[in-house]
Copies of this chain bind each other. A is one copy, B any other.
Protein backbone atom coordinates (compact mmCIF):
# COMPACT_ATOMS: atom_id res chain seq x y z
CA UNK A 1 0.00 0.00 0.00
CA UNK A 2 1.37 3.37 -1.10
CA UNK A 3 1.87 6.26 1.31
CA UNK A 4 0.56 9.42 -0.39
CA UNK A 5 2.55 12.56 0.40
CA UNK A 6 1.82 14.08 -2.98
CA UNK A 7 -1.38 16.09 -2.98
CA UNK A 8 -1.45 18.12 0.26
CA UNK A 9 -4.41 16.15 1.55
CA UNK A 10 -5.51 15.74 5.15
CA UNK A 11 -4.29 12.23 6.02
CA UNK A 12 -6.66 11.83 8.97
CA UNK A 13 -9.91 11.95 7.01
CA UNK A 14 -13.03 13.90 7.88
CA UNK A 15 -14.23 13.80 11.51
CA UNK A 16 -17.15 11.61 12.55
CA UNK A 17 -19.71 14.43 12.66
CA UNK A 18 -18.96 15.40 9.06
CA UNK A 19 -19.22 11.81 7.85
CA UNK A 20 -22.52 11.43 9.70
CA UNK A 21 -23.91 14.60 8.08
CA UNK A 22 -23.04 13.17 4.67
CA UNK A 23 -24.47 9.74 5.45
CA UNK A 24 -27.74 11.34 6.51
CA UNK A 25 -27.96 13.00 3.09
CA UNK A 26 -27.78 9.77 1.04
CA UNK A 27 -31.53 9.84 0.62
CA UNK A 28 -31.14 12.76 -1.79
CA UNK A 29 -28.63 10.90 -4.01
CA UNK A 30 -31.11 10.50 -6.88
CA UNK A 31 -32.04 14.20 -6.97
CA UNK A 32 -30.17 17.06 -8.62
CA UNK A 33 -30.88 19.86 -6.24
CA UNK A 34 -32.96 18.80 -3.24
CA UNK A 35 -32.12 20.36 0.13
CA UNK A 36 -28.55 21.61 0.23
CA UNK A 37 -28.05 21.71 3.98
CA UNK A 38 -27.93 25.49 3.86
CA UNK A 39 -24.36 25.49 2.55
CA UNK A 40 -24.47 28.95 0.93
CA UNK A 41 -25.85 30.59 4.06
CA UNK A 42 -23.35 28.73 6.23
CA UNK A 43 -20.43 29.96 4.13
CA UNK A 44 -21.80 33.51 4.02
CA UNK A 45 -22.24 33.54 7.79
CA UNK A 46 -18.76 32.10 8.29
CA UNK A 47 -17.25 35.01 6.37
CA UNK A 48 -19.73 37.72 7.46
CA UNK A 49 -20.78 38.31 3.85
CA UNK A 50 -24.12 37.97 2.07
CA UNK A 51 -25.22 34.81 0.24
CA UNK A 52 -24.96 36.83 -3.00
CA UNK A 53 -21.20 37.01 -2.36
CA UNK A 54 -20.80 33.23 -2.42
CA UNK A 55 -20.55 30.77 -5.31
CA UNK A 56 -19.86 27.08 -4.68
CA UNK A 57 -17.88 24.89 -7.03
CA UNK A 58 -16.81 21.32 -7.68
CA UNK A 59 -13.74 21.86 -5.52
CA UNK A 60 -11.97 25.20 -5.83
CA UNK A 61 -10.82 23.69 -9.16
CA UNK A 62 -14.10 24.80 -10.69
CA UNK A 63 -13.63 28.29 -9.25
CA UNK A 64 -10.19 28.42 -10.92
CA UNK A 65 -11.77 27.32 -14.18
CA UNK A 66 -14.64 29.81 -14.19
CA UNK A 67 -12.35 32.70 -13.26
CA UNK A 68 -10.50 31.81 -16.44
CA UNK A 69 -13.79 31.54 -18.36
CA UNK A 70 -14.96 34.94 -17.17
CA UNK A 71 -11.76 36.99 -17.04
CA UNK A 72 -9.17 35.35 -19.28
CA UNK A 73 -10.45 35.16 -22.85
CA UNK A 74 -8.13 35.10 -25.84
CA UNK A 75 -5.12 37.47 -25.55
CA UNK A 76 -5.78 38.50 -21.94
CA UNK A 77 -3.04 38.14 -19.34
CA UNK A 78 -2.86 36.52 -15.93
CA UNK A 79 -0.07 37.82 -13.70
CA UNK A 80 1.27 35.63 -10.90
CA UNK A 81 4.39 34.01 -9.50
CA UNK A 82 6.37 30.98 -10.57
CA UNK A 83 6.24 28.36 -9.26
CA UNK A 84 2.66 28.38 -8.02
CA UNK A 85 -0.40 26.16 -8.37
CA UNK A 86 -0.18 25.69 -12.13
CA UNK A 87 -3.87 25.00 -12.86
CA UNK A 88 -4.68 28.67 -13.39
CA UNK A 89 -1.95 28.96 -16.02
CA UNK A 90 -3.11 25.74 -17.68
CA UNK A 91 -6.67 27.06 -18.01
CA UNK A 92 -5.28 30.37 -19.31
CA UNK A 93 -3.41 28.48 -22.02
CA UNK A 94 -6.61 26.61 -22.93
CA UNK A 95 -8.47 29.86 -23.46
CA UNK A 96 -5.55 31.39 -25.38
CA UNK A 97 -4.83 33.85 -22.62
CA UNK A 98 -1.20 34.19 -21.54
CA UNK A 99 0.51 34.02 -18.18
CA UNK A 100 3.18 36.43 -17.00
CA UNK A 101 4.93 34.42 -14.32
CA UNK A 102 7.17 36.45 -12.01
CA UNK A 103 10.11 34.58 -10.41
CA UNK A 104 10.16 34.25 -6.63
CA UNK A 105 12.60 36.31 -4.55
CA UNK A 106 15.77 34.81 -3.04
CA UNK A 107 13.74 33.87 0.03
CA UNK A 108 11.22 32.07 -2.23
CA UNK A 109 8.59 34.71 -1.61
CA UNK A 110 6.23 36.41 -4.05
CA UNK A 111 7.83 39.52 -5.54
CA UNK A 112 4.84 41.78 -5.00
CA UNK A 113 6.62 44.91 -6.20
CA UNK A 114 7.41 43.22 -9.50
CA UNK A 115 3.82 41.93 -9.78
CA UNK A 116 2.62 45.50 -9.29
CA UNK A 117 5.09 46.86 -11.87
CA UNK A 118 4.20 44.26 -14.51
CA UNK A 119 0.46 44.58 -13.87
CA UNK A 120 0.56 48.35 -14.24
CA UNK A 121 2.71 48.07 -17.36
CA UNK A 122 0.12 45.75 -18.96
CA UNK A 123 -2.96 47.17 -17.25
CA UNK A 124 -5.18 47.17 -20.34
CA UNK A 125 -4.55 43.49 -21.00
CA UNK A 126 -4.38 42.00 -17.51
CA UNK A 127 -7.52 39.92 -16.97
CA UNK A 128 -6.65 38.86 -13.45
CA UNK A 129 -3.80 38.82 -10.93
CA UNK A 130 -3.42 35.41 -9.26
CA UNK A 131 -2.03 35.06 -5.74
CA UNK A 132 -1.95 31.69 -3.98
CA UNK A 133 -1.67 32.53 -0.28
CA UNK A 134 0.00 30.61 1.23
CA UNK A 135 1.67 29.64 -2.01
CA UNK A 136 1.67 26.09 -3.31
CA UNK A 137 4.36 24.61 -3.63
CA UNK A 138 6.54 26.78 -1.37
CA UNK A 139 4.27 27.17 1.66
CA UNK A 140 5.22 30.85 1.88
CA UNK A 141 2.68 33.56 2.70
CA UNK A 142 2.19 36.97 1.18
CA UNK A 143 2.12 39.20 4.29
CA UNK A 144 -0.97 41.32 4.90
CA UNK A 145 0.83 44.61 4.22
CA UNK A 146 1.96 43.33 0.81
CA UNK A 147 -1.58 42.24 -0.12
CA UNK A 148 -2.71 45.73 0.80
CA UNK A 149 0.13 47.29 -1.18
CA UNK A 150 -0.85 45.22 -4.22
CA UNK A 151 -4.50 46.20 -4.02
CA UNK A 152 -3.69 49.85 -3.42
CA UNK A 153 -1.14 50.03 -6.23
CA UNK A 154 -2.78 48.46 -9.27
CA UNK A 155 -5.79 49.88 -11.13
CA UNK A 156 -8.91 49.14 -9.09
CA UNK A 157 -10.76 47.54 -12.01
CA UNK A 158 -8.32 44.62 -12.32
CA UNK A 159 -9.65 41.61 -10.38
CA UNK A 160 -7.21 40.07 -7.88
CA UNK A 161 -7.83 36.38 -7.38
CA UNK A 162 -6.51 35.14 -4.02
CA UNK A 163 -6.47 31.37 -3.62
CA UNK A 164 -6.61 30.61 0.10
CA UNK A 165 -6.76 26.81 -0.14
CA UNK A 166 -4.12 26.47 2.59
CA UNK A 167 -5.31 29.38 4.73
CA UNK A 168 -6.19 27.22 7.76
CA UNK A 169 -2.64 26.02 8.37
CA UNK A 170 -1.05 29.47 8.75
CA UNK A 171 0.09 30.77 12.14
CA UNK A 172 2.32 33.65 11.04
CA UNK A 173 0.92 36.89 12.56
CA UNK A 174 1.94 38.77 9.40
CA UNK A 175 -0.73 36.85 7.48
CA UNK A 176 -4.41 37.66 7.28
CA UNK A 177 -7.25 36.35 5.16
CA UNK A 178 -8.43 38.73 2.43
CA UNK A 179 -12.22 38.43 2.63
CA UNK A 180 -12.14 41.87 4.29
CA UNK A 181 -11.33 43.37 0.90
CA UNK A 182 -14.43 41.75 -0.60
CA UNK A 183 -16.47 43.36 2.18
CA UNK A 184 -14.78 46.68 1.34
CA UNK A 185 -16.11 46.21 -2.20
CA UNK A 186 -12.75 45.79 -3.90
CA UNK A 187 -12.45 43.61 -6.99
CA UNK A 188 -11.09 40.67 -5.03
CA UNK A 189 -12.07 37.03 -5.51
CA UNK A 190 -11.24 34.62 -2.69
CA UNK A 191 -11.13 30.87 -3.37
CA UNK A 192 -11.48 28.42 -0.51
CA UNK A 193 -11.72 24.64 -0.48
CA UNK A 194 -12.92 21.81 1.72
CA UNK A 195 -10.18 19.59 0.28
CA UNK A 196 -7.40 20.57 2.66
CA UNK A 197 -7.96 20.96 6.39
CA UNK A 198 -11.57 19.70 6.03
CA UNK A 199 -10.34 16.41 4.50
CA UNK A 200 -13.02 16.28 1.79
CA UNK A 201 -10.72 16.33 -1.27
CA UNK A 202 -12.43 13.30 -2.74
CA UNK A 203 -15.88 14.77 -2.23
CA UNK A 204 -15.32 17.97 -4.25
CA UNK A 205 -16.44 21.20 -2.65
CA UNK A 206 -14.91 24.64 -2.88
CA UNK A 207 -16.21 28.17 -3.21
CA UNK A 208 -15.57 31.76 -4.20
CA UNK A 209 -16.25 34.83 -2.10
CA UNK A 210 -16.40 38.04 -4.13
CA UNK A 211 -18.40 41.22 -4.64
CA UNK A 212 -21.86 40.55 -6.07
CA UNK A 213 -21.00 41.98 -9.50
CA UNK A 214 -18.10 39.54 -9.84
CA UNK A 215 -20.17 36.58 -8.64
CA UNK A 216 -22.75 37.57 -11.27
CA UNK A 217 -20.02 37.49 -13.92
CA UNK A 218 -18.83 34.07 -12.78
CA UNK A 219 -22.21 32.38 -12.28
CA UNK A 220 -23.08 31.73 -15.95
CA UNK A 221 -19.95 29.58 -16.26
CA UNK A 222 -20.56 27.12 -13.42
CA UNK A 223 -21.89 23.75 -14.40
CA UNK A 224 -25.54 22.95 -13.81
CA UNK A 225 -25.51 21.03 -10.51
CA UNK A 226 -21.77 21.32 -10.03
CA UNK A 227 -21.56 19.77 -6.57
CA UNK A 228 -22.94 16.51 -5.26
CA UNK A 229 -25.78 16.64 -2.75
CA UNK A 230 -24.05 14.95 0.15
CA UNK A 231 -20.86 17.02 0.35
CA UNK A 232 -22.93 20.17 0.91
CA UNK A 233 -24.15 18.69 4.18
CA UNK A 234 -20.57 17.66 4.97
CA UNK A 235 -19.39 21.20 4.30
CA UNK A 236 -21.91 22.73 6.69
CA UNK A 237 -20.91 20.30 9.44
CA UNK A 238 -17.24 20.95 8.72
CA UNK A 239 -17.50 24.73 9.08
CA UNK A 240 -18.96 24.23 12.56
CA UNK A 241 -16.26 21.83 13.72
CA UNK A 242 -13.63 24.34 14.77
CA UNK A 243 -12.24 21.99 17.43
CA UNK A 244 -11.22 19.40 14.85
CA UNK A 245 -9.78 22.11 12.64
CA UNK A 246 -7.61 23.34 15.51
CA UNK A 247 -6.50 19.79 16.26
CA UNK A 248 -5.45 19.13 12.64
CA UNK A 249 -3.65 22.47 12.42
CA UNK A 250 -1.69 21.70 15.58
CA UNK A 251 -0.85 18.13 14.52
CA UNK A 252 0.27 19.31 11.09
CA UNK A 253 2.53 22.00 12.52
CA UNK A 254 4.08 19.67 15.08
CA UNK A 255 4.89 16.93 12.56
CA UNK A 256 5.95 19.36 9.81
CA UNK A 257 8.32 21.22 12.14
CA UNK A 258 9.86 18.00 13.48
CA UNK A 259 10.51 16.61 10.00
CA UNK A 260 11.84 19.86 8.54
CA UNK A 261 14.10 20.39 11.56
CA UNK A 262 15.45 16.90 11.11
CA UNK A 263 16.15 17.55 7.42
CA UNK A 264 17.83 20.85 8.22
CA UNK A 265 19.96 19.13 10.86
CA UNK A 266 21.06 16.73 8.13
CA UNK A 267 22.25 19.71 6.11
CA UNK A 268 19.35 20.08 3.70
CA UNK A 269 17.90 23.43 2.78
CA UNK A 270 14.18 23.57 3.61
CA UNK A 271 11.85 26.47 2.81
CA UNK A 272 10.06 27.55 6.01
CA UNK A 273 6.43 26.55 5.36
CA UNK A 274 3.14 27.89 6.68
CA UNK A 275 1.15 25.04 5.17
CA UNK A 276 0.62 21.26 5.19
CA UNK A 277 3.55 20.62 2.85
CA UNK A 278 7.13 21.81 2.55
CA UNK A 279 9.91 21.95 -0.02
CA UNK A 280 13.37 20.48 0.50
CA UNK A 281 16.31 21.01 -1.84
CA UNK A 282 17.42 17.50 -2.83
CA UNK A 283 20.04 18.80 -5.32
CA UNK A 284 18.90 16.28 -7.88
CA UNK A 285 16.12 16.28 -10.48
CA UNK A 286 12.85 15.70 -8.68
CA UNK A 287 11.38 13.37 -11.30
CA UNK A 288 14.14 10.80 -10.73
CA UNK A 289 13.91 11.25 -6.95
CA UNK A 290 10.14 10.74 -6.99
CA UNK A 291 10.65 7.49 -8.89
CA UNK A 292 13.03 6.24 -6.22
CA UNK A 293 10.53 7.10 -3.50
CA UNK A 294 7.77 5.37 -5.43
CA UNK A 295 9.79 2.15 -5.59
CA UNK A 296 9.92 2.32 -1.81
CA UNK A 297 6.18 2.90 -1.47
CA UNK A 298 6.01 6.70 -1.13
CA UNK A 299 4.26 9.05 -3.54
CA UNK A 300 5.87 12.48 -3.23
CA UNK A 301 5.18 15.79 -4.99
CA UNK A 302 5.59 16.47 -8.68
CA UNK A 303 8.19 18.79 -10.21
CA UNK A 304 7.53 22.54 -10.05
CA UNK A 305 9.74 24.23 -12.65
CA UNK A 306 11.96 26.16 -12.40
CA UNK A 307 12.58 24.66 -8.93
CA UNK A 308 13.42 21.33 -10.48
CA UNK A 309 15.61 20.09 -7.61
CA UNK A 310 13.20 21.00 -4.83
CA UNK A 311 10.99 18.16 -3.63
CA UNK A 312 7.52 19.08 -2.35
CA UNK A 313 6.44 16.79 0.46
CA UNK A 314 2.92 16.78 1.90
CA UNK A 315 2.81 16.35 5.67
CA UNK A 316 1.36 12.93 6.48
CA UNK A 317 0.61 11.30 9.82
CA UNK A 318 3.31 10.82 12.44
CA UNK A 319 3.82 7.23 11.32
CA UNK A 320 3.85 8.11 7.63
CA UNK A 321 6.46 10.82 8.19
CA UNK A 322 8.68 8.52 10.24
CA UNK A 323 8.54 6.18 7.25
CA UNK A 324 9.30 9.09 4.94
CA UNK A 325 12.41 10.07 6.93
CA UNK A 326 13.64 6.48 6.96
CA UNK A 327 13.15 6.31 3.20
CA UNK A 328 14.75 9.71 2.67
CA UNK A 329 17.89 8.45 4.36
CA UNK A 330 17.89 5.38 2.11
CA UNK A 331 17.41 7.45 -1.06
CA UNK A 332 20.08 9.96 0.05
CA UNK A 333 22.58 7.93 2.07
CA UNK A 334 25.44 10.41 1.56
CA UNK A 335 24.30 13.43 3.48
CA UNK A 336 25.73 16.77 2.36
CA UNK A 337 26.89 18.22 5.67
CA UNK A 338 25.38 15.87 8.21
CA UNK A 339 26.72 16.40 11.67
CA UNK A 340 23.85 15.25 13.82
CA UNK A 341 21.65 12.26 13.26
CA UNK A 342 18.12 12.61 14.55
CA UNK A 343 16.56 9.53 16.15
CA UNK A 344 14.00 7.59 14.21
A interface, CB within 8 angstroms of B: 4, 7, 9-14, 19, 26-34, 58-59, 61-62, 65, 69, 73-74, 87, 90, 94, 195, 199-204, 220-221, 223-231
Instruction: Verify A195–B13 contact, CB threshold 8 A.
Output: no
Chain B residues with CB under 8 A of A4: 31
Chain B residues with CB under 8 A of A34: 202
Q: Least Cβ distance of A92 to chain B in Å?
A: 12
Instruction: Verify A9–B32 contact, CB threshold 8 A.
Output: yes
Contact among B13, B29, B69, B226 with A58 in the assembled complex (CB-CB below 8 Å): B226
Instruction: Verify A31–B201 contact, CB threshold 8 A.
Output: yes
Instruction: Verify B26–A19 contact, CB threshold 8 A.
Output: yes
A12, closest chain B residue (CB): B30
Known: A12-B30, A202-B229. A94 touches B65 (CB 8 A): no
Contact among B19, B61, B227 with A204 in the assembled complex (CB-CB below 8 Å): B227
Contact among B199, B221, B226, B230 with A30 in the assembled complex (CB-CB below 8 Å): B199
CA distance A190 to B204 in the complex (A): 25
Instruction: Verify B29–A7 contact, CB threshold 8 A.
Output: no
**26 cross-chain CB contacts under 8 A:** A4-B31, A9-B30, A9-B32, A14-B30, A19-B29, A29-B200, A29-B203, A30-B199, A32-B195, A32-B202, A58-B223, A59-B224, A59-B225, A61-B223, A61-B224, A61-B225, A62-B223, A74-B74, A94-B220, A94-B221, A201-B225, A202-B228, A203-B228, A203-B230, A204-B225, A204-B228
CA distance A55 to B297 in the complex (A): 29
Chain B residues with CB under 8 A of A7: 31-33
CA distance A330 to B90 in the complex (A): 56
CA distance A30 to B227 in the complex (A): 16
A13, closest chain B residue (CB): B30
CA distance A204 to B33 in the complex (A): 11
CA distance A264 to B191 in the complex (A): 52
Instruction: Verify B220–A90 contact, CB threshold 8 A.
Output: yes
Further contacts, 5 of them, CB under 8 A, given A14-B29, A29-B199, A61-B224: A28-B202, A29-B202, A58-B223, A87-B224, A203-B228
Chain B residues with CB under 8 A of A226: 58, 61, 204
A74, closest chain B residue (CB): B74
A59, closest chain B residue (CB): B225
Chain B residues with CB under 8 A of A28: 202
CA distance A27 to B14 in the complex (A): 9
Instruction: Verify A32–B90 contact, CB threshold 8 A.
Output: no
CA distance A33 to B29 in the complex (A): 21
Q: Least Cβ distance of A324 to chain B in Å?
A: 17
CA distance A74 to B138 in the complex (A): 37
